[in-house]
């Protein structure tokens, strides 16, 4: 079983009451809602964006990869730069940068400028979730830290129930640019709520960018990151092209797409609750369940997608497994990163967005090769198997390290 370690607040820091804790977590979850909406709604309105900037749908899929690349670059860089900053101030600064990226997306006059704006919008993503998870974990007792982190992540899940379907409808019926304006407003609301509701705590004077980089010297950090990239990559291979898959494979109209996205969102909410419960049992075993379940769910989608509405249960199951993976990867990295807490927490979303970029890219490759919109599901199954192999190596290394420590203590 994996133990999650966290910094304890200093004796001079007053312990917030239950109401203040709830409001603080709500403020942080609102940021997760905004981030989740902008990350996933692009996939729902991909055909509209493609038409709007004059490119093919597979080429528009590279916008998803651009955002993901921003997350991958931003997570370590911003964690390095912000290691000593007060966590509330860092969270606010990251959300302001998020607003700037989405305003740029709404105003972009060309495909190239839109690519750049999506990259900028992705930069604060991983670092925000990382610092928000650390803030939430620091507000509650040890026995509730996993659930507190899950509640922050719940914002991303709820975005897929309300924000993404509503944004997809808005993009299809009003315009895709209006979607990014909406997300920018959500970011500003998050800034106000964070300032008003999240308690101020001083930065860690002992933290440094150099100390944060020690996370990369830990094999378990790398194994966890690679396992997350593999396990989640399969989901993104399918989800990136879900709108066109529903239309061309399932034979349904554009109006069905928001309902598929709603099923995905409901699955994420359910999966976040399941993930919190499983984390109290075993984080590492939960990762095995999530990765194996992802592979099975993707295979089910491959089989059921031609049946139109029969694909909905498979999408729901994919989302449940995605949430189990996301929450427990976050907790696993917060544990194995040692003292490099900010970077360890932030790198979870770097890993997931490497998966985002790779999944979208591999999915686009098989579609462009003429294998059709079902083929990405099989790519996803292969990526899930890869994730399971890496998790097995991580578990074996952990057993070896535990045995060695026990032998030395004898």
Q: What pLDDT digit, counting tens, does each position of 267-305 carry?
A: 888 888 888 778 777 788 888 898 899 999 999 999 998
Measured CA to CA, the distance from residue 389 to residue 238 in angstroms comes to: 21
* Residue 239 falls inside a structural domain: yes
Q: How many domains does the chain have?
A: 1
Using 50, 70 and 90 to split pLDDT, how confident is the model at 1?
Answer: very low
The CATH number linked to 220 is 1.20.1250.20
Instruction: Give the mean model confidence (pLDDT) for residues 38-42.
Output: 86
Using 50, 70 and 90 to split pLDDT, how confident is the model at 263?
Answer: confident
Q: What pLDDT digit, counting tens, does each position of 219-250 carry?
A: 888 888 888 888 888 888 888 888 888 888 88
- What's the mean pLDDT when you consider all of the chain? 82
Taking the CA atoms of 158, 187, 95 and 112 in sequence, report the sign of the dihedral they define. Answer: positive
* Residue 139 falls inside a structural domain: yes
* Residue 238 falls inside a structural domain: yes
- Domain span at 355: 18-409
* Residue 12 falls inside a structural domain: no
* Residue 59 falls inside a structural domain: yes
* Residue 10 falls inside a structural domain: no
* Residue 105 falls inside a structural domain: yes
* Residue 8 falls inside a structural domain: no
pLDDT, residue 56, reads: 82
């Amino acid at each position: 079983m994996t133990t999650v370690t966290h910094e304890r607040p200093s004796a001079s820091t007053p312990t917030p009451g239950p109401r203040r804790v709830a409001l603080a977590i709500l403020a942080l979850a609102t940021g997760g809602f905004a981030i989740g909406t902008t990350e996933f709604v692009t996939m729902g309105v991909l055909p509209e964006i493609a038409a709007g900037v004059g490119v093919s749908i597979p080429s528009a899929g590279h916008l998803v990869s651009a955002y993901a690349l921003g997350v991958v670059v931003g997570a370590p860089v911003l964690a390095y730069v912000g290691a000593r900053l007060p966590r509330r101030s860092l969270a606010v600064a990251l959300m302001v940068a998020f607003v700037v990226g989405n305003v740029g997306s709404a105003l972009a006059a060309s495909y190239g400028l839109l690519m750049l704006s999506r990259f900028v919008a992705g930069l604060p993503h991983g670092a925000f979730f990382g610092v928000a998870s650390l803030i939430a974990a620091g507000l509650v007792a040890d026995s509730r830290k996993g659930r507190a982190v899950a509640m922050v992540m719940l914002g991303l899940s709820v975005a897929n129930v309300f924000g993404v379907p509503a944004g997809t409808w808005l993009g299809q019926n009003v315009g895709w640019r209006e979607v990014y304006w909406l997300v920018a407003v959500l970011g500003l609301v998050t800034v106000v709520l964070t300032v008003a509701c999240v308690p101020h705590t001083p930065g860690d004077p002992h933290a440094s960018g150099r100390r944060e980089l020690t996370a990369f010297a830990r094999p378990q950090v790398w194994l966890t990151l690679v396992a997350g990239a593999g396990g989640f990559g399969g989901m993104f291979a399918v989800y990136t092209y879900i709108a066109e898959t529903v239309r061309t494979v399932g034979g349904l109209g554009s109006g069905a797409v928001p309902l598929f996205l709603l099923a995905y969102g409901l699955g994420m909410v359910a999966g976040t609750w399941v993930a919190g419960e499983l984390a109290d049992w075993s984080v590492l075993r939960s990762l095995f369940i999530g990765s194996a379940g992802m592979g099975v769910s993707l295979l089910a989608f491959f089989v059921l997608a031609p049946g139109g509405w029969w694909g909905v249960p498979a999408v729901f199951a994919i989302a449940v497994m995605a949430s189990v993976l996301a929450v427990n990867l976050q907790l696993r990295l917060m544990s194995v990163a040692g003292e490099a807490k900010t970077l360890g927490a932030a790198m979870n979303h770097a890993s997931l967005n490497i998966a985002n970029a790779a999944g979208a890219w591999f999915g686009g490759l098989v579609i462009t090769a003429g294998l059709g919109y079902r083929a990405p599901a099989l790519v996803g199954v292969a990526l899930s198997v890869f994730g399971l192999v890496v998790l097995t190596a991580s578990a074996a290394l952990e057993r070896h390290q535990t045995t060695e420590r026990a032998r030395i203590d004898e």
